[in-house]
Amino acid sequence: MTEPNQDGERRGSLLADLATVLAFLSVLPLPPAWRADPRRPLAQAARAFPLAGALLGLLAGLPLAALHNLGLAPSAAALLAVLTLVLLSGGLHEDGLADSADALAGGTPTARLAIMRDSRIGTFGALAVLFSVGLRWAALAALVPSGAVLAAAIVAGALSRSVPVVLLFWLPPARVDGLGQAAGRPAASGLLAALGLAGMFTLLLVGVLAGLAALAAAGIATLLVGRLADRGLGGQTGDILGAGQQVAECLVLLTLAVVLV
């Protein structure tokens, strides 16, 4: 059963929220008991975004650490970890980044929205994905010898997947249909819960100094993508949410590679 909270949204259990988010953000085969309600707006499960991100980071970080302990070079293990992240999400976030990069390099807001719906990838989109993979690969490889790579992967997963929650709360939908509109706007309580969980994961796993630096990196990514979307499109779309996640994951991992290594 779900009950209305003080913000008037219908909220289920945390497990139901996590199932809703994982069903959208990943291709993980969920057990029947975790089946999400497809009629429920994604924003109503806002608090579970960092939990889903932490789980996906864990699933990528565990084999990375294990392969390194078995003697695989850090660079090879890190590249396989990035591949795992891409496969776990079905390339959802990378697709959003590519579409956003191509669109924001376009002309008018109307033209940019049209570019976002073009299935072809352009020069800016290809370069954006190339840099996203390369930066995450380099950061994870640098973190492997420090022994903090698993914690960093979890923190980056939790923080980066909190960014879409902030963007949904901050910006209106840029079009009258599509994911950005269908997802809805998170309640203030859902936003605060998501940010609180992401902050807790961060400070507990990497400590205060590195944690504050990672939080700042995620904040910078949110502001950067949010401002570009607001000026270029007049709001957010599903592709912008994916782009925000990618930029944040890159910046958080790079920041942790500097602070923890």
Q: What is the dihedral of CA 128, 130, 133, 138, to 10 degrees?
A: -110
Burial of 32 (0-12, 13-18, 19+ CB in 10 A): exposed
In degrees, rounded to 5, the angle at the alpha carbon of residue 83 between the alpha carbons of residues 81 and 86 is 115
Residue with tokens 């859902």: 190
- Whether 25 is in a domain gets the answer no
Judged against a pLDDT cut of 60, whether residue 202 lies above it is answered with: yes
Dist. CA 28–CA 89, nearest whole Å: 8
226 — pLDDT class (breaks 50, 70, 90): very high
Domain containing 243 equals 45-260
pLDDT for 34: 66
Helix (H) or strand (E) holding 11: strand 10-11
A 10 A CB-CB count for 30 gives: 14
pLDDT for 9: 46
For 181-200, the pLDDT digits (tens) are 778 899 999 999 999 999 99
- Whether 40 is in a domain gets the answer no
Give me Rg for the CA atoms of the chain. 18
- Whether 110 is in a domain gets the answer yes
Mean pLDDT estimate for the chain:
90
Side-chain half-sphere CA neighbours of 257 within 13 A: 18
- Whether 144 is in a domain gets the answer yes
Q: How many helices (H) and strands (E) does the chain have?
A: 11, 2
Retrieve residue 62's tokens: 């565990």
Q: Which residues contact 238 (CB under 8 A, 6 or more apart)?
A: 96, 178, 179, 180, 183
- Whether 28 is in a domain gets the answer no
pLDDT for 36: 60
For 36-83, the pLDDT digits (tens) are 666 678 889 999 999 999 999 999 999 999 998 899 999 999 999 999
For 127-155, the pLDDT digits (tens) are 999 999 999 999 999 999 988 999 999 99
Beta strand 10-11 with 3-4 is: antiparallel
The least confident of 2-11, 64-73, 83-92, 225-234 is 2-11
Q: How many domains does the chain have?
A: 1
Dist. CA 55–CA 79, nearest whole Å: 19
2 — pLDDT class (breaks 50, 70, 90): very low
| Residue 235 near residue 93, CB atoms below 8 Å | no
Amino acid at 20: T
- Whether 6 is in a domain gets the answer no
Judged against a pLDDT cut of 60, whether residue 225 lies above it is answered with: yes
Among the listed residues 128, 133, 144, the one whose alpha carbon sits nearest the alpha carbon of residue 75: 144
Dist. CA 106–CA 127, nearest whole Å: 15
Dist. CA 23–CA 33, nearest whole Å: 13
Dist. CA 81–CA 62, nearest whole Å: 9
- Whether 226 is in a domain gets the answer yes
- Whether 149 is in a domain gets the answer yes
Judged against a pLDDT cut of 90, whether residue 120 lies above it is answered with: no
